[in-house]
Structures are given as structure tokens and as C-alpha cells.
Amino acid sequence: MIEANEEEALGVIANEVKVCQKCRLGKTRTQAVPGVGDPEAEVLFVGEAPGYQEDQKGIPFCGPAGKFLDEMLASVSLDRDKVFIANVIKCRPPENRDPEDDEKNACWPYLQKQIEIINPKLIVCLGRHSMMRLIPGQASISKIHGKPLRRPDGRVYLPLYHPSAALHNGSLRPVQLEDFSKIPSIIEKIQKSDQITPTSQESVPTAEVKINQEGKDKIIKQKLL
Ligand code: SF4
């Protein structure tokens, strides 16, 4: 139990992010949005980038999409104090444009450090951009949403539609709530599987995932939970 150290380490990252000028978004942001939550959270939610409200307040998911996220968290007896919420990109791209590759690369080490410190059991990718960064591959989120995947780093990832998707397309709302409802049982399975050491590679179910490496498509196998 080293919560104080984790909190302190996350605080150091947050302070670096707040003054960061490693990419052009540092010039246009109002406030950077490092992330908030429990330093020892079992679940880390990762969105794409701050929007207008987040940029104004420095808090992730504090606009209408955040309200729906809170509702979904409450539906599985979670709240912001029990999880950690961050973004792939810590500063708002102007007019909410997609982040450029160099901006994503410049910001990536912050999220990597946050993952190392928090060491969550489950990383929930909120939306396509988060999924593309954390689960590299070409699968569409419409095909893999709600399906947990254990990646070569040993962590379990769950891709979900971004909460704002339901605001644009109401028919996705029940789908998102159903996907979210799987989170408690996924955590339970992870806790059980963490206690079991597979006797061989073959004993772990895998799925084929297409990735693009140096411009070439390559099929790799990723472990399913
Ligand atoms: S987006 Fe990330 S890398 Fe760019 S200025 Fe903000 S904190 Fe720094």
C-alpha cells in the first residue's frame, strides 16, 4: 500500500502537464487536463482529448458527455472517486479538431506514466481514438466495443463507444449502458485470472487482430480475457 507515493507521483505528472509546451496545443489551451481520480483505481477510463468545458475547467469529462459517463458509472455502482479518468491528449485541440500524430506522440508519455503508476486492472478506452492508441490495430470500434482483450503488456483493455456518441445517436445509448454493465464481471474475471498462471501459451484463448506495422498489414494474436 503506497497510495501516498502514487498520489505524489501522479501530482508530479499533473504539474508537468499543466505547464507543458511539448506540442503546439500548449499555446492554444486555456487549461491542461491531466486527469482525476483514485491513484489506486482498478479501472482507468481513457478518452481522446479535452473539449470546450474541460479546457475551461481543467477537469476531464465535465460537459454533457461527462454527465452521461457519470450516469453510466453510477449504473455499475462506481463514481469518479473510485476510478481514474484521463485522456490520450491532455490539451484541447482548437475547435475540437482531431489531434495530429505529432501531438499524440508528444503527449503519449504522460498517459504511459499514469498507467504505470495507477497500475489498473482494466483500462477502458472511450471512443475510437483512444482505442486506436491503446489497442493498436485496424478493427472498428463498432466491431469490438464491449469485448475485453488482454494485450501483450498483460493488461486487460475494454473498448467502448465514446459517451458523446449517445448524444449524437440516441440508439447507441442502450448499447453503451449494456457494454458498461459488463465492467463488474470483467473485473471479477480479471481478479480470478490473475490468480491463475496459464500452464502454456495455448491455454489462453486468443483472437487474430490485424495491425499496420511500418506500412504493412500484419496479423497478430492477442489474448482474450
Ligand atoms: S497536448 Fe500534451 S504534449 Fe501537447 S502541450 Fe499539452 S500536455 Fe504537452
Ligand 1 neighbours, Cβ below 6 Å, are 17, 20-23, 25-26, 32, 89-91, 103, 106-107
What local confidence, expressed as pLDDT, does residue 193 receive?
82
Radius of gyration of the chain (CA): 17
What local confidence, expressed as pLDDT, does residue 41 receive?
97
DSSP string, 85-143: EEESSSSPPGGGPPPPHHHHHHHHHHHHHHHHHH--SEEEEESHHHHHHHS-S---HHH
Q: How far is the CA of 41 from the centre of ligand 1 (A)?
A: 24
Q: HSE on the CB side for 212, CA within 13 Å?
A: 5
Pick the atom of ligand 1 nearest to 26's CA: 5
Q: How far is the CA of 112 from the centre of ligand 1 (A)?
A: 14
What local confidence, expressed as pLDDT, does residue 107 receive?
98
The domain limits of the chain are 3-186+204-224
pTM of this structure:
0.87
Q: For ligand 1, atom 5, name the residue with the nearest CA.
A: 26
Residue in 16, 17, 31, 54 to alter for ligand 1 test, most ligand atoms within 8 A of Cβ: 17
What local confidence, expressed as pLDDT, does residue 137 receive?
82
Q: What is the distance between the alpha carbons of residues 124 and 2, in angstroms, rounded to a whole number?
A: 24
Residue in 25, 54, 98 to alter for ligand 1 test, most ligand atoms within 8 A of Cβ: 25
Q: CATH assignment of 3-186+204-224?
A: 3.40.470.10
Q: What is the distance between the alpha carbons of residues 210 and 143, in angstroms, rounded to a whole number?
A: 13
Q: For ligand 1, atom 2, name the residue with the nearest CA.
A: 107
What local confidence, expressed as pLDDT, does residue 42 receive?
95
pLDDT per residue rounded down to tens, the chain (225 residues): 445 699 999 999 999 999 999 999 999 999 999 999 999 999 999 999 999 999 999 999 999 999 999 999 999 999 999 999 999 999 999 999 999 999 999 999 999 999 999 999 999 999 999 999 999 886 789 999 999 999 988 899 999 999 999 889 989 999 999 999 999 999 999 988 876 554 433 334 444 444 444 445 554 455 555
Q: How far is the CA of 127 from the centre of ligand 1 (A)?
A: 20
Q: How far is the CA of 190 from the centre of ligand 1 (A)?
A: 33
User: β-strand 216-224 against 206-213: which pairing, if any?
Assistant: antiparallel
